[in-house]
Structure 1
Amino acid sequence: MEPRLLAALVLAILTVVVIVLRTRLDAFFALLFAALVTGFVAGAPVAEVVEAVTTGFGDTLGSIGIVIGLGVGLGKILEVSGAADALARAFVRALGTGREDWAMGGTGALVAIPVFCDSGFVIMNPLARSIARSKRAGYVTLALTLGCGMTLTHHLVPPAPGPLGVAGILGADVGGLVLAGLAFTVVLLPVVVGYARWIGPKLEGSLLPEVRRAVYGRAPSGGSCAPAGEGEKEPDGGPAPALGTPPRDGKPHRVGPLLAMVPLLVTLLLMIANTVVTAVGERGAESGGDTPPSAAQSVVMFLGSPVVALLVGLVLAVYVLLPRWTPRSQVDNWLSEAASSAGLIILVTGAGGALAEVLRGFHVSDTLAAVIASWGLPGVLVPFLVASLVRLAQGSGTVAMITAASVSAPLGPELHVSPLLAAIACCTGAMVFSYFNHSYFWVVTRLTGLDGTAALRGWSGITTAVWLASPPLLLAAGTFV
């Protein structure tokens, strides 16, 4: 074992944490500096270090950069068209009275697949307030299930950008990650609801006075919990100004829940179909057959490739969810905003690929594999723990996932873990104890009206609950994946 190489890995992780926490630079620069520090400390020639950085960066973005950009664009259109809100109200109607917390958790999980958690929570929180106002109770429970439902799929299910980046670095199949992420979400959602039901009533008395007045300060306009949200200001029948002005004889634009689901559902189904067809083809090859895919299989594999599937979903969103009178310039502005928000994520993902290439190319990963073998830990817990430590240190779930994937990718067969399972481990590990150094912590706790220890017991507690429930699931999934 080379102590120098192990020191290079430790310094790489410390470099990421220190730069993110203590400088004005962001995670993109932190990961690039970490890659350079790793190579230099490992004793590699300068020219080879730079070549490894550029190669890793380019290879990673070549496989995943377009996908992240398209996924963020799809989420933006779902957000501005009102589709996300339509889905939320449909969930509440479908599940009915007494199951509103399940409805909010399910809504959050669905909406956060393409929409960033911060904006998604802002959009959906008025519905949680409206339900609580009608019931005269339960706002904290509803807000926590909504927020943590979003956390689940934002960390686990492509086309959320973090899981996409992890898939690109580890070489995991995106469609397979969609299925595995959805399965983990379904199993973990009862943990979210259970914790929220337990802690929510205990924290109702800790609501900030201004939030309590906003939620419960006046009687609901109806006697029952109406999904459309009594007590909230409803649309006046016309479209939001940003959607443009309809012609004089035009009908007001409203997106129904079935229509709202079309772009997202088509995208996910195409990617899943590609995964199934590819898996069937691989099994046929293993059994000794070398028959090329049929024309139908080729079409499914083409349409289900992540780039094409997301492109189809984005086109559907633009032409199905937005009214025909929406100005082209406004659509351009929305997609430009999405591209701006995706830009940093794409760069961070590429920088994570650069770090992975340096770790692999200069045998740092071999040293780490030897250390892990001496611990006797199950291989799947390595990416899980790395993601957890980085998340606790610097706050960003995306940075934690990308860093853990970068460290884990070069280990390959030494972990005895498939790329898909390693990806899930990175994603679940990054959900641990969201607190003051995480921007989403402030979004949820401020809008929910929790402060101080109440915020920690509520939001930090619920994210830690799903984190604690993940290792047994990872170990169980190891027997299948």
Structure 2
Amino acid sequence: MSDLWIVINTAVAVLAVVVFIVRFHLNPVVSLVLGAAYLGLATKLGVSTTVDTITGGFGEIMAEVGLLIAFGVLMGAVLQEMNAIQRLVGTLLRTFGPKRLPYALSLTIATVLQSIFLDVLLVISAPLARNLAPKIGKAGTARMATALAISLECGIVFMVPGVATLALAGLLGVPLGKMMIYGFVLIVPVVVLSVAIMSFVFRHGWWNESKDEQQIRPSVTVDEPTEPTDPTDPTDPEEYDASGTGGVAQKVRVEKQTRLVVLLSPLLTALVLIAVGAVLDVAEVEQPIVSFLSSPVIALLIGLIGTCLIARYAVGQERVEKALARGFSESGQILILTGVGGSLAAVIGEAGLGDILGGYFTASTAAPLLMVWAIAAALHVAVGSVTISAITSAGILAPVAPLIGLDPVFVALAAGAGSLFAVHVTSNTFWLLQSLMGQTTRGTLKTCSVGVSLASVIAILIIVPMSYVL
């Protein structure tokens, strides 16, 4: 089969996936499998090879990241049950003060809290951010909303154990420790620069409260996170039961007896172990026990077990079990979606697209990374899903990386960066930010769409020189 015919059919398959999702509202999982099946048959892989490649691609990506995603989501669900996020916001406010809060909150969410499912993390943190917005100065709502949008979206594509990060690393064969270190090096300047630029333009007149904010007071507010003054006040963030599953008295017991650093210590320990493993790999040091403990699956398992043990003491076994059940429910769709993304990528690779595209690029140019970014951006504009666009774009060009000598970690980061471009009205995050932060659609287009798109552009501008230096 001619190279042109393979390229055309790959484009048709991807376009069909977009049309199925956007026009016919077909489930993304089904759409991706249909696209993979069409591509396999259209490129004459044969029925048997097509089916084997689809199932093999699913199994291969699950073997890489299935347990990691499950452990990360479960850990996040238990942290949510322990009210860790509300307490963390209060600690950040007391430590950094109101003016630095957007930077402190965005960096913390982007780097530390990615085990928590994005929508859940947004629902927990947005009411606190909205209540604190008037205290940080001019255009406070805009600045806090932008900080949340940028940190949440960047975190899931750049930082371990963000679900899209795990999927990208698995698809491209990037060691998770390496992905975490490179992602951290990238995400810090991206978040800081993006929040700083957006804050500057908002403070200098690009935010109109009468047009960009809803003029309706929220029905429930949360007091400024300070030291609790009334242990029976459910609106105090130190005591507030955001989960709705426990009473005030039980939540008081959590906050009085369990320090925040203790609640977060298993998650932090897991991340440190993964980072240590990555450093040892780079240094070519072999320590069997350390290598075992620092392997991502074992490290996250240790984090999950530690979090559950602390939660059992803090909130009781019944609530731990409820949190785990919720986590299993949330992780199911993520796992299947990640797996079928691997199926499409496997069929694309089997069809030979990588060999074709590899002839057009050389490792001495930035074209491959810019191509990955552009494809992911276009897919995100069409589909509205950061995860789907990142996985699909990486799958299309994953076979190119080894052919041209480009480190796959940069392909993964470029795909993640492109998938951030133009978060708009097809995104659930967009509408959650609008309602929870009290913005109009016009205001949300500024804080979410423009803010995250700026982060996308800044990210690729950093990734390209990183690929030459690192």
TM-score in same-fold range (> 0.5): yes
Distance 1:147 1:33, change over 3 A: same
**Corresponding position of 2:270:** 267
Output aligned runs, 1:297-336, within 5 Å.
297-323=287-313, 326-328=316-318, 330-336=319-325
Q: Which residue of 2 aligns with 1:148?
A: 150
Contact 2:74/2:304 (<8 A) preserved: yes
Alpha-carbon contact 2:372-2:393 (below 8 Å) kept: yes
CA distance in 1, matches of 2:226, 2:91: 8
State the partner residue of 1:290: none
Q: Which residue of structure 2 lines up, in the alignment, with residue 168 of structure 1?
A: 170
- CA 1:136–1:322: 2 relative to 1, 3 Å: farther
- Give the AA of the match of 1:323: Y
* 1:16/1:449 CA distance change after superposition, 3 Å: same
User: Equivalent of 1:389, from 378, 384, 396?
Assistant: 378
Cα deviation per residue 1:318-360 (whole Å; 9 max; x = unaligned)?
Answer: 11244356134x3223212211211111111111221222122
Secondary structure of 2:115's partner?
Answer: coil
CA contact (8 A) 1:380 1:417 kept: no
- Whether 1:441 and 2:436 are equivalent positions in the alignment is no
- Give % identity: 24
Deviations 1:222-261 (A, max 9, x none): xxx76469999216969776357989xx971114331233
Alignment of structure 1 residues 180-191 onto 2, 5 Å: 180-191=182-193
* Residue aligning to 1:79: 80
Deviation at 1:279, TM superposition (A): 2.1
SS of 1:437 mapped into structure 2: coil
Q: Give the 3 Å change call, closer, same or farther, for CA 327–258 of structure 1 in structure 2.
A: closer
Spell out, residue by residue over 1:285-343, the C-alpha distance to the aligned partner (whole angstroms, 9 max, x if none): xxxxxxxx3xxx11111111111111100111111244356134x32232122112111
Deviates more, 1:225-234 or 1:409-418: 225-234
- What's 1:355 paired with? 344
- Picking from 344, 368, 380, the partner of 2:333 is 344
Cα distance in 2 for partners of 1:374, 1:323 equals 54
Following the alignment from structure 1 to structure 2, what is the Cα–Cα distance between the partners of residues 135 and 32? 47
Correspondence 1:54-453 to 2 at 5 A: 54-110=55-111, 112-134=113-135, 137=138, 138-201=140-203, 202-203=206-207, 204-211=209-216, 213-214=217-218, 227=226, 233-234=235-236, 242-243=245-246, 252-254=253-255, 255-281=258-284, 293=286, 297-323=287-313, 326-328=316-318, 330-372=319-361, 378-453=367-442
Cα distance in 1 for partners of 2:254, 2:365 equals 59
- 1:139 to 1:24, Cα distance in 2 relative to 1, 3 A: closer
Q: Which whole-Å CA distance do the structure 2 matches of 1:119 and 1:237 have between them?
A: 19
Amino acid of the residue matched to residue 185 of structure 2? A
AA of the residue aligned to 1:205: S
Kept after mapping to 2: 8 A contact 1:53/1:358: yes
- Contact in 2 for aligned 1:12/1:37 (Cα 8 Å): yes
Distance 1:468-1:134 versus aligned 2 partners, 3 A rule: closer
Residues 95, 376 of structure 1: alpha-carbon distance in 2 compared, 3 angstrom cutoff: closer
TM-score in terms of structure 1 length: 0.87
Q: What is the deviation of 1:61?
A: 0.8
Residue deviations 1:394-449, cap 9 Å, x none?
A: 00000011101211222232343212111111111111111001110111122222
8 Å CA contact 1:85–1:123 kept in 2: the answer is yes
Letter of the 2:330 counterpart:
S
Matched with 1:472 is: 461
Which sits farther off after the overlay, 453-462 or 301-310? 453-462
Contact 1:127 1:229 in 2 (8 A): no
Aligned in 2, Cα 1:245/1:122: closer, same or farther, shift over 3 Å?
Answer: closer
Would the aligned equivalents of 2:254 and 2:315 in 1 still touch at CA under 8 Å? no
Q: Say if 1:273 and 1:184 are closer, same or farther in 2 by CA, change over 3 A.
A: same
Contact 1:107 1:146 in 2 (8 A): no
Tell me the secondary structure at the aligned position of residue 44 of structure 1: coil
Mean CA deviation greater in 390-399 or 360-369: 360-369
> What amino acid does structure 1 have at the position aligned with 2:291?
M
Of stretches 254-263 and 300-309 in structure 1, the one that deviates more from structure 2 is 254-263
Q: Secondary structure at the match of 1:434?
A: coil
Q: Structure 2: which amino acid aligns with 1:256?
A: R
2:394 and 2:415 in contact (8 A); partners too:
yes
Secondary structure of the equivalent of 1:52?
Answer: helix
Distance 1:129 1:471, change over 3 A: closer
Q: Which residue of 2 aligns with 1:43?
A: 44
Give the match for residue 287 of structure 1: none
Would the alpha carbon gap of residues 26 and 112 (structure 1) be closer, same or farther in structure 2, given more than 3 Å must change? farther
Shift of residue 100 of structure 1? 2.3
Number of residue equivalences = 459
Cα distance between partner residues in 1 of 2:193 and 2:402? 32
CA contact (8 A) 2:421 2:453 kept: yes
Q: 1:426 to 1:276 in 2, by over 3 A?
A: same
The CA deviation at 1:370 is 3.3
Give unmatched runs, 5+ long, in structure 2: none
Give the CA deviation at 1:455: 2.1
Distance in 2 of aligned mates of 1:462 and 1:238: 30
Tell me how large the CA RMSD over aligned residues is.
3.0
Alpha-carbon separation, structure 1, partners of 2:362 and 2:48: 32
Contact 1:74 1:317 in 2 (8 A): yes
